[in-house]
């Protein structure tokens, strides 16, 4: 089934509303007019019967009725009126009934009772035309015979007036609905111009034009939120594609270097016959390159698995002192080899996934060992700050520029743009730390000033805060 456009829906809605409003207003006027006409007809009938009853109280008038009954018929004035004057035994004195209509029997109003509108009876003829009638006794003297007056009227004229009024209401309602529908269509179509312009602008945005933004100028206020959110989405997409291109380029370079080394060494080895020692050295070198490739792939897989795994981690209360002692023991030989001192301070518990906590802390300590000055101290501190448990790893070394600090947690990023040490590290260690903190609902921060670089990990103490 074809869906109706918003313009058509608004047009139909306003047309139906206009027709309904006009119909309700016309119906109210119609029923008011019908009530007024009915009241007027009833009052005219009551007046006629009362006048005839008063007239027949006079003896001369009675004689006139007996002698010239046609005179009363002419007094009624039209062919829709009915008048019957008869004696108590049913003998008719006057019978004016042009259509020979059957008049229902009703109890006549007593001669001493004043006539009122409530005494008028309503009915319908054979053809459905409204019909009003009433009967009344005539006050008589002692020597006069009692009379009964029955009068009525077919309301054909009133029915025609009301029928014409109904038709006028329907016609006017239809015309009004049509005019409003036409006006609503043009107004709605004009109002949809910003939407069509928005659709054209969004259709023009592609992968190569993600830097474009939707123009808010001359747009209605109702679209501001939509355009704002759409522009924000474009900004996120642009940033994501930029990061993806950067990651792809870095990944290609990092994979090309060890693979190129492997191919070059193997090509040289196959160039001519070599002794056993050469082949052993070649295999050892290839083994180191393959290990680096394996570590890089493992890190990339870890980042991919942790991208949307917030609910999969298992948070427990970690003994801070024991974990710090464990990490200190693990890096003891490496720090001594490089002439560094590793100290730690902290106690209590910290709520996190233990394996991920160990990996994040190990990556930070490994990074500190790599960049610390010889014969300097690397410090690990854990303390409580408001709603977070904060783990800090600091070392003494070169001050990191602010432009570099902003990208330290990006994947494959290295501050050394020459990539001279690309064979030693993949540039994923700090990215893994950032991903681990994101999984825990926390965040990481780095500050470098006066030769002291401090990495801080903020673990939320409240699980509800971590899920936000």
For CA atoms 5, 8, 11, 13, the dihedral sign is negative
What is the pLDDT at residue 445? 93
- Spatial separation of the C-alpha atoms in residues 393 and 381, rounded to whole Å: 7
- Spatial separation of the C-alpha atoms in residues 94 and 73, rounded to whole Å: 8
Q: Both 27 and 136 in a single domain? A: yes
- Spatial separation of the C-alpha atoms in residues 182 and 13, rounded to whole Å: 12
- Spatial separation of the C-alpha atoms in residues 379 and 390, rounded to whole Å: 13
C-alpha to C-alpha distances, 430 to 363, 366, 436, nearest whole angstrom: 7, 10, 10
Q: Both 229 and 255 in a single domain? A: yes
Does residue 89 fall inside a structural domain? yes
Lookup: tokens for 41: 């007809």
Point out the domain boundary residue: 252, 269, 303: 303
Point out the domain boundary residue: 137, 164, 191: 164
Lookup: tokens for 396: 């003494």
- Spatial separation of the C-alpha atoms in residues 97 and 79, rounded to whole Å: 8
Does residue 112 fall inside a structural domain? yes
Burial 55-66 (b: 16+ CB within 10 A, else e): bbeeeeebeebe
Among 415, 412, 374, 426, smallest CA distance to 395 is for 374
Q: Which domain holds residue 299?
A: 221-303
**Can you say how many angstroms the Cα of residue 258 is from the centroid of all Cα atoms in its chain?**
53
Q: Cα 328–388–350 angle (5° rounding)?
A: 45
Does residue 175 fall inside a structural domain? no
Lookup: tokens for 27: 């119906």
Does residue 173 fall inside a structural domain? no
Q: Both 362 and 229 in a single domain? A: no
C-alpha to C-alpha distances, 172 to 23, 25, 66, 168, 175, nearest whole angstrom: 9, 11, 54, 6, 5
Among 90, 72, 202, smallest CA distance to 146 is for 90
pLDDT tens series, the chain, 468 aa: 578 888 888 889 999 999 999 999 999 999 999 999 999 999 998 998 888 888 877 767 666 666 665 666 555 556 678 888 888 777 787 887 777 777 788 888 888 888 899 989 998 877 788 889 899 988 766 556 678 888 888 888 888 899 999 999 999 999 999 999 999 889 888 888 888 888 888 888 888 888 888 887 777 888 888 888 989 998 988 887 887 777 677 677 667 777 887 888 888 888 888 888 888 888 888 888 888 788 778 777 776 666 655 556 788 999 999 999 999 999 998 899 889 999 999 988 998 988 889 989 999 999 999 999 988 999 999 999 888 999 999 999 999 998 888 888 877 776 654 434 444 556 678 888 888 888 888 899 999 999 999 999 999 887 555 555
What is the pLDDT at residue 260? 82
Q: Both 296 and 357 in a single domain? A: no
Does residue 64 fall inside a structural domain? yes
Over residues 388-436, the pLDDT tens digits come to 999 999 999 999 998 888 888 877 776 654 434 444 556 678 888 888 8
Q: Both 462 and 401 in a single domain? A: yes
- Spatial separation of the C-alpha atoms in residues 36 and 162, rounded to whole Å: 11
* DSSP-H helix ranges across 68-141: 70-76
Q: Both 148 and 272 in a single domain? A: no
Looking up tokens 């006028």 gives: 168
Q: Both 236 and 125 in a single domain? A: no
As beta bridge partners, residue 383 has 390
What is the pLDDT at residue 79? 66
> Which DSSP string corresponds to 141-162?
-TTS--EEEEEEEE-HHHHHHH
Q: Both 319 and 280 in a single domain? A: no
Q: What is the DSSP letter of 129?
A: -
Over residues 319-352, the pLDDT tens digits come to 999 999 999 999 998 899 889 999 999 988 998 9
Q: Both 49 and 133 in a single domain? A: yes
Does residue 189 fall inside a structural domain? no
Q: Both 256 and 327 in a single domain? A: no
Among 413, 378, 382, smallest CA distance to 395 is for 378
Number of domains making up the chain: 3
Lookup: tokens for 118: 């409530």
What is the pLDDT at residue 421? 45
Q: What is the CATH number of the domain that holds 272?
A: 1.10.287
Contact 454, 392 (CB under 8 A): yes
Q: Both 293 and 320 in a single domain? A: no
Q: What is the CATH number of the domain that holds 441?
A: 3.30.565.10
What is the pLDDT at residue 417? 46
In the three-class reduction of DSSP (H, G, I as helix; E, B as strand; rest coil), residue 136 is classed as: strand
Does residue 197 fall inside a structural domain? no
Point out the domain boundary residue: 270, 287, 303: 303
In the three-class reduction of DSSP (H, G, I as helix; E, B as strand; rest coil), residue 94 is classed as: strand
Q: Both 31 and 82 in a single domain? A: yes
Lookup: tokens for 51: 């006048």
Contact 129, 156 (CB under 8 A): yes
Q: What is the CATH number of the domain that holds 74?
A: 3.30.450.20
Does residue 78 fall inside a structural domain? yes
């Amino acid at each position: 089934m074809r869906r109706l456009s918003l313009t058509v829906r608004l047009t139909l809605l306003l047309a139906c509303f206009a027709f309904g409003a006009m119909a309700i207003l016309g119906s109210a006027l119609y029923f008011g007019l019908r009530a007024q006409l009915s009241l007027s007809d009833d009052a005219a009938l009551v007046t006629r019967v009362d006048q005839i009853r008063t007239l027949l109280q006079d003896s001369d008038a009675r004689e006139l009725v007996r002698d010239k009954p046609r005179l009363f018929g002419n007094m009624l004035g039209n062919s829709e009126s009915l008048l019957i004057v008869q004696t108590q035994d049913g003998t008719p004195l006057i019978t004016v009934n042009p259509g020979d209509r059957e008049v229902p029997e009703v109890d006549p109003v007593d001669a001493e009772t004043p006539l009122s509108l409530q005494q008028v009876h309503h009915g319908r003829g054979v053809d459905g035309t409204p019909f009003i009638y009433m009967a009344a006794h005539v006050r008589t003297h002692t020597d006069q015979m009692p009379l009964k007056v029955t009068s009525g009227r077919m309301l054909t004229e009133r029915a025609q007036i009301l029928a014409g009024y109904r038709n006028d209401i329907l016609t006017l309602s239809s015309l009004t609905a049509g005019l409003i529908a036409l006006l609503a269509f043009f107004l709605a179509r004009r109002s949809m111009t910003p939407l069509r312009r928005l659709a054209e602008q969004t259709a023009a945005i592609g992968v190569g034009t993600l830097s474009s933004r939707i123009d808010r100028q001359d747009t209605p206020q109702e679209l501001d939120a939509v355009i704002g959110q759409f522009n924000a989405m474009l900004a996120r997409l642009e940033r994501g594609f930029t990061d993806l291109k950067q990651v792809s380029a870095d990944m290609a370079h990092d994979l090309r270097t060890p693979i190129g080394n492997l191919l070059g060494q193997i090509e040289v080895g196959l160039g001519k016959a070599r002794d056993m020692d050469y082949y052993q050295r070649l295999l050892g070198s290839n083994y180191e390159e393959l290990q680096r490739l394996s570590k890089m792939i493992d890190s990339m897989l870890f980042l991919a698995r942790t991208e949307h795994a917030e609910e999969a981690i298992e948070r427990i209360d970690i003994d801070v002192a024991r974990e710090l002692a464990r990490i200190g023991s693990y890096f003891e030989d490496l720090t001594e080899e490089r002439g560094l001192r590793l100290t730690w301070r902290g106690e209590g518990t910290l709520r996190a996934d233990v394996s991920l906590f160990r990996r994040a802390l190990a990556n930070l300590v490994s990074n500190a060992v790599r960049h610390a000055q010889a014969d300097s101290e690397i410090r690990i501190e854990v303390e409580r700050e408001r709603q977070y448990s904060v783990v800090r790893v600091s070392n003494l070394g070169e001050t990191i520029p602010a432009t570099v600090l902003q990208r330290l947690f990006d994947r494959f990023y290295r501050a050394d743009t020459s990539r001279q040490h690309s064979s030693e590290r993949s540039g994923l260690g700090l990215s893994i730390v950032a991903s681990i903190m994101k999984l825990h609902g926390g965040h990481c921060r780095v500050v470098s000033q006066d030769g002291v670089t401090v990495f801080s990990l903020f673990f939320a103490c409240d699980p509800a805060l971590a899920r936000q």
